[in-house]
Amino acid sequence: MMRTKYIFILISIILINIFNYSCNSIKEKKHVTEDAVAVMAYYVPEKEYNPEALPLDQLTHIIFSFTKVIDNEMNFNNDVYAKKLKELVAQRKNHPNLKVMVACGGWGSKGFSDMSYDPEHRKKFVTSVVRFIKEYELDGLDVDWEYPCIPAAGTKARPEDKQNFTLLLKELREGLDTLEREQTLTFASAGWKAYYKNIEIEEVMKYADYMNVMTYDQISGGSPFTAHHTPLGWIKGKDLQHPLVSDFYEEMKKRAANFGVAYEPGTVEMIIDYCISKGVNPKQLVIGAAFYGRSWNGVNPANHGLYQANKGGSRTSTYKEIRTLIEGNKGYQKHWDSIAKAPYLYSAKDSIFITYDDTASVGLKTKYAMKNKLGGIMFWQLGQDTKDESSLVNAIYRASQEK
């Protein structure tokens, strides 16, 4: 009888250990990224581009944009968005592998610094996120705080944002892990080095599945010189010392020196190399593509307008608008920069320069992500694309399927 009892105890211990190992294995796997490259689309709902018309079969994740921090909770500030999000989630029945997420924040979005500063406010926010995710049956959250410690576009910022951002991601991870549905937690980061001084990158990446690096807007609209806004290739100082572009280089060096830093152009290859050097797992890095371009007026014709002085008037154009310019014979000549691995347009007649992504550049970005075993590629934003076979999303999808 005693022997039977000991055997029963031994079997019980073994079973408990197996159960604990299984649970721990599941928990570990939960936040490990998949082998396949992720294709993430930010999506702003539009009247003429409803969820049933989206190319969801070409995406792994779609990130509905945006909710806001309102009274220390995550909510929509637009009643129409709630209906649109439900319509998007309903499409998952036709695309069972698609992850439907929601983004909170965006450029100029306020509330993050104050909310994350107070433990009770953070708790209130996390509770609202969990409630929101459950209500809409979502697969995850993207935190788009632009930017910790930097009062960009009039947002509030304080030095403590650096540590509070880590606490926010940690508590969001813990909250999301209470849900039955597996959750993906991402955050949008800037594509320039100074941003990473303001977050505890190694700590934050313990809680996030992916960091979506916004490798676009690498040149501001107020720049006195034109340049690429979303280049892939690593542009170095020696590449900018040619007489045709040296004025640009000298001006940008002077501007950077005023902030106590050395100038280097923002590019995908540069910032990804930097993030990896800071200890980020490549599988957690998602690079960005732009479905829009930036343009300048009164641009000097030297070097087909690239790295040249302008008279201002920078604006953004959607990719579908840019395609209309090219295909409509509006006097624009298309050029390719083999160093930046990026296209650009110049109209000698109107002295207008446009920097943007095309099907070739987004295809190269996708292949770069795959070759370097990164997490994937994301883009802002789906509604700015064309809706034909020559769309940017189709180019990304085709590249992602190549071996």
Catalytic residues: 146
Which residues neighbour 305 within 8 Å (Cβ) at sequence distance 6 or greater?
Answer: 226, 299, 344, 346, 351, 352, 353
At which residue do the structure tokens 């995406």 appear?
59
Question: How crowded is the C-beta side of 30, counted as CA atoms within 13 Å?
Answer: 24
Q: Any alpha helices (H) in 228-378, and if so which ranges? A: 246-258, 268-277, 319-327, 359-371
Alpha helical stretches, state H, 36-104: 79-90
Mapping DSSP to helix (H, G, I), strand (E, B) and coil, where does residue 342 land? strand
Tokens of 401: 């399927």
Contact of 335 with 345, CB cutoff 8 Å:
yes
Distance in angstroms (rounded) separating the CA atoms of residues 357 and 105? 24
Q: How many other C-beta atoms can be found within 10 angstroms of the C-beta atom of residue 31?
A: 17
Beta strands (DSSP E) in 80-237 are: 99-105, 140-144, 184-190, 210-214
What phi and psi, each to the nearest 5 degrees, are found at residue 389? -65, -25
Query: Cα separation of 254 and 252, whole Å?
Result: 5
* Rounded-to-integer distance, Cα 296 and Cα 299, Å: 7
